[in-house]
């Protein structure tokens, strides 16, 4: 997994690039005891949602394309 830091005028955040399984511990830490909220569209969720849910509890928040 590769981590890229994005810096804006107001904040900075990391973008993780790589297989979902490599990000599991980081995503679980972010979610805590809650289900992970994933901002996605229906097409991407259809392709990858089952694999993500197999790693940890997650719920999609769909945005239009």
> What are 23-32's pLDDT values in tens digits?
888 888 988 9
Which neighbouring-strand residues pair with 60? 38
Query: For 52, which DSSP code?
Result: H
For residues 19 and 16, what is the distance between their CA atoms, to the nearest angstrom? 9
> What are 10-56's pLDDT values in tens digits?
999 988 888 888 888 888 898 899 999 999 999 999 999 999 999 99
């Amino acid at each position: 997994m590769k981590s890229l830091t994005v810096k804006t005028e107001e904040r900075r955040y990391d973008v993780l690039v790589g297989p979902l399984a490599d990000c599991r511990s980081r995503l679980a830490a972010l979610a805590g005891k809650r289900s992970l909220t994933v901002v996605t569209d229906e097409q991407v969720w259809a392709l990858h949602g089952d694999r993500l849910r197999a790693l940890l509890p997650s719920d999609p928040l769909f945005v239009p394309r």
